[in-house]
Chain A
């Protein structure tokens, strides 16, 4: 008993020491991160990895708060983090936005940063910021890899060029998703001109059963290759079971799908986290809308799985990537697609998201649809239905 008591006392002493040390290091920055789910979601895990890496690299204190619903809980947690001494509070889910804005108004001395949101540029708050990345470039690259695979299968006589149809499991018919699958499709079509695509929506960001069912349905419809914009392993595992090639999202699924995984695009959030931490450290303003690119290291591809990908994929991707970087390849080049049989010459996008569903900003400039454009907003707003893509159940 005495031993136990002395052990407990010793522990208590240690804890007090640690606590005192933490108090002493208060000079440093502290960042609070709010996540919708925990590390089991590929989407949130991608943010967590970036957050840890950035904070540890720059040596700042950080708190990771998982499982915060898109409701009052988000505001309360953001306020708690601000009161708890965080200099920056970050939230990762689209539905957190209204609650982050509410907290930002209450704590003007704390910086609030939000990924995938659309309202920073219209709210006019100095301490509220949105961020995204030109993930459409990553999707386009992944599409090129998919197109090469189709070409290989056509050359092998698996099906004819006219039968080249691919499937896409989307979350919601929302601009972020539409921009994603359209850029992917344009990437595929840049190397495989006869391709068509079918899209199905799960109406959920994370629903493993629905995503699996959706992928299975597309495969039954005759789709030769599948990609997805939803956060679970549903679609990749359905593809592995059916032996259909899959282009993934948010990170590599090669461990679970060694025979069908080709490549995956994802946003690396570490550069953004480093950027905001450095801004606060140096007393500089954080951009209202920050959009990461291939150059900033925000848009990345995983390693190509040589076992499933077509020969020469890696070399071709390097070539296309170079084209995207020097501007000779534009993803949303209006010469590359038509809408209802007509080429696109003008489009008013709903960039200023005032709840009116009305487009107000001309985004077709110099022969391309300017997605996530400088001075507009970082979150995607490409919501056109281009020819060649069929939406199922719409």
Chain B
């Protein structure tokens, strides 16, 4: 704060200064976000017209029809939201604990690998329902293991969890690449194709018509609600929040920090593994290195934008899925390269993430005694 001792320092008062908002008024957040989205749309429209000469309205319409154009698309959109939601909910407890888990991809992929392994190696020895149980247990265990290892090393030897979880992603990818060659069909192709396409052994149950994907959607809703209650109403949720706020406080009140870290990452990994189960057993019925498709990283953004509240994540994951599906629709309808829709997605995300700044901080412009109007800019 400039002191008013001399006239000189007063004249040097900066054009604006920034303060952190102590209390964010309820509607400020909503207002700022709405303005951000409107601005983002305006910039996108401008870019579209300048760069491609297309009518921006029809581009927006394409984004919408990419998600809701037909009944099938609508259900696929909801399914995509469901999958992204589970994996976002999965990384949340770790983030609340300030444990930067960027290994959601690897944890989910480990789950995928375990599920596929059961479908392929057990198909001749067990009935389908028993295989499904094995798949569920195996993929959750595999995901949990992938989450537990970095937590164990962090708790025991203080290793860096960001690097560790990131590295685990590559191990999972390489393992999957290896098994794609082991189980390849036909020989030499390095591809597995749809597993058990004729017999449908190990395919998770279909509720209603298969295109409605109700099974994945129901699992997502259950997981999301369960996590909400776990984080907000369970002792564990409280403990991990305390660990996140301050490890010293946690020690002081008698929380065993090491145990909380490992327990929380076991849970995070397990839920990621569950996503892997759904991706292989319910959605794709195959195994490739790109099956998780970076959702573990997108989940970080989803969780962050929702302020780590699982219920808000429904909205934020919907937003990201909408943009993603819209991107591919634009590429198809206007014969534009997909890179163009990536630019639009980037612009929109830039504004949304930027809006968080204006919600958490307040900008005060220089006070001009003679120009009252300037204050209201």
The interface of chain A, by Cβ under 8 A from chain B, is 8, 11-12, 15, 38-39, 63-67, 69-72, 76, 79-80, 83-84, 94-95, 97-99, 101-102, 118, 172-175, 177-178, 203, 350, 353, 355, 357, 383
Contact = CB atoms under 8 A, between A and B. Distances in A.
Given A80-B70, A83-B70, A94 B191 contact: yes
Contacts of B181: 203
Interface in B176-226: 177, 181, 185-191, 193-194, 197, 211
Contacts of B191: 70, 94-95
Contacts of A383: 187-188
A65 B177 CA distance: 27
B335 interface: yes
B28 interface: no
Contacts of A15: 55, 58
Most buried by A among B177, B188, B211, B286: B188
Contacts of B194: 98-99, 102
A98 B197 CA distance: 8
Contacts of A67: 328, 331, 338
Contacts of B353: none
B186 A80 contact: no
28 contacts: A8-B57, A12-B57, A38-B331, A38-B337, A39-B337, A65-B331, A67-B338, A69-B288, A70-B191, A70-B286, A71-B284, A71-B286, A72-B285, A76-B76, A79-B211, A80-B70, A83-B70, A95-B191, A98-B193, A174-B187, A175-B187, A175-B188, A203-B181, A350-B186, A353-B185, A353-B186, A355-B185, A355-B186
A38 B185 CA distance: 26
A236 B347 CA distance: 37
B32 to A, nearest CB: 26
A65 B57 CA distance: 21
B283 A72 contact: yes
B290 interface: yes
Question: Closest 4 A-B residue pairs measured CB to CB?
Answer: A174-B188, A98-B194, A98-B193, A72-B284
Interface in B287-315: 288, 290-291, 293
Given A69-B290, A203-B190, 20 more contacts: A8-B57, A12-B57, A15-B55, A64-B335, A65-B331, A69-B293, A71-B284, A72-B285, A80-B72, A95-B191, A98-B197, A101-B197, A102-B194, A172-B188, A174-B189, A175-B188, A178-B188, A203-B181, A350-B186, A383-B187
Contacts of B186: 118, 174-175, 350, 353, 355, 357
A330 B132 CA distance: 52
Given A67-B328, A67-B331, A71-B291, A173 B283 contact: no
B301 to A, nearest CB: 21
B98 interface: no
B332 interface: yes
B236 interface: no
Contact of B332 (A63, A71, A79, A172): A63
Interface string B335-365: 1011000000000000000000000000000
A315 B181 CA distance: 44
Contacts of B58: 15
B188 A173 contact: yes
B73 interface: yes
Contact of B193 (A38, A65, A95): A95
A203 B177 CA distance: 10
A72 B337 CA distance: 22
Nearest to A118: B186
A67 B339 CA distance: 11
A66 B185 contact: no
A175 B335 CA distance: 34
Contacts of A76: 72, 76
Contacts of B197: 98, 101-102
A339 to B, nearest CB: 17
A67 B325 CA distance: 12
B67 to A, nearest CB: 12
A97 B197 CA distance: 12
B190 A174 contact: yes
Nearest to A65: B332
B238 to A, nearest CB: 39
Contacts of B286: 70-71, 98
Nearest to B283: A72
Contacts of B293: 69
Interface in B261-301: 283-286, 288, 290-291, 293
